Structure 1
Amino acid sequence: MAVYFECVTQASVSRAELFEKSLSIDAHTGSMADSQEKAVAGVTSGTIGLGEQVTWRAKHFGIPFRMTSRISELDAPRTFTDQQVRGPFKSFHHVHEFHESAHGTLMVDKIRFSAPFGPLGWLAERLVLGWYLPKLIRIRNDYLVKAQG
């Protein structure tokens, strides 16, 4: 069974600006500096678009990982979806929504994932990934909201 969570972030920038930052490979790399995340194949800099893929290399818990994601849906500046094509998860689906608000933009991340390895994966989802992935999304969103330009 998959794990689902949402992260809601308020930003004072316009919806179009935050949408564009969220598609930036460079901004993502900057936000994930602690895990040494780097784009190593596909779109490796600039803005990723509909149907395009990026392969990330990162280190989490001291373990190297590679994950390839594809932008499967894009409706600028309202929403886009990225999905794992290859990588450590049994499945990973991330919907990014951008709503205009009285204070700028409300960004909503809706993430559904499942770990491989049956019962061991289920334990990993509940004991580690269930708190670790929302933390990564909050770090990324903080960086996007604070990044200038």
Structure 2
Amino acid sequence: MATLIEIVSVIGAAPNVVFDLELDVDVHAASLQGSQETATTSTGQRHLTLGDEVTFRARHLGLRWCMTSRITAYERPYRFVDEQTRGPFRALRHEHHFQALAGGATKMTDRLSISAPMGPLGVAVTRLLIAPYLRQLLKRRAAHIKNVAEARIRRA
């Protein structure tokens, strides 16, 4: 059974700016500095596109984690999807949606669906510990993207 997490943010920048920041692995790593996150791409490029894979290594909940995801859908600047190809979950799918709002702003929606390994025990751990933790990570990441995007707009 999958657990769904959804975070909605409003960012004072155009969808193409927010979309590009979300696919920049250096911005991603900077948004999660406390977890010592690193990102290695399959292409060596720092900006992901359709078919690219990225391997994240970080410390979360006191444990070292390693997960590889692939960009499986890419519709710039409206939507992209990354899905786990190797990692700790039975399945992980992260949809990123970007909707233009009045005044040049963007509504950014993160929709993360995770399925736990280890049967009922995994489901319980996911619901009680992992999902709340991931919700906070997504909120922190969205706040970082908002800060970077809006700072770029102010400087322009």
TM-score range, shorter-chain basis?
A: over 0.9
Unaligned 5+ segments in structure 2 are: none
1:108 and 1:146 mapped to 2: Cα distance?
Answer: 16
Quote the offset at 1:41 in angstroms: 4.9
Q: Which has the higher helix share?
A: 2
1:135 matches 2:136: yes
**What is the TM-score when the length of structure 2 is the normalising length?**
0.91
Aligned-CA RMSD value: 1.2
Letter aligned with residue 84 of structure 1: Q
In 2, Cα distance between the equivalents of 1:137 and 1:2? 17
Give 1:129 shift. 1.4
Moved segments of 4+, more than 3 Å: none
Report matched runs for 1:49-88 at 5 Å.
Answer: 49-88=49-88
Which stretch of structure 1 is more off in the superposition, 68-77 or 45-54?
45-54
Cα distance between partner residues in 1 of 2:52 and 2:14? 25
Instruction: Give unmatched runs, 5+ long, in structure 1.
Output: none
Superposed CA offset, 1:58-98 (max 9, x none): 11111101000000000000000000000001100011000
Could you report, residue by residue, the CA deviation over 1:89-142 in whole angstroms, capped at 9, with x for unpaired residues? 110001100001124000011111011111110111111012111110010010
Identity among equivalent positions (%) equals: 36
Deviation sequence 1:8-35 (CA, Å, 0-9, x none): 0000011110000000000000001111
TM-score by length of 1: 0.95
Change (3 A) 1:45 1:28: farther
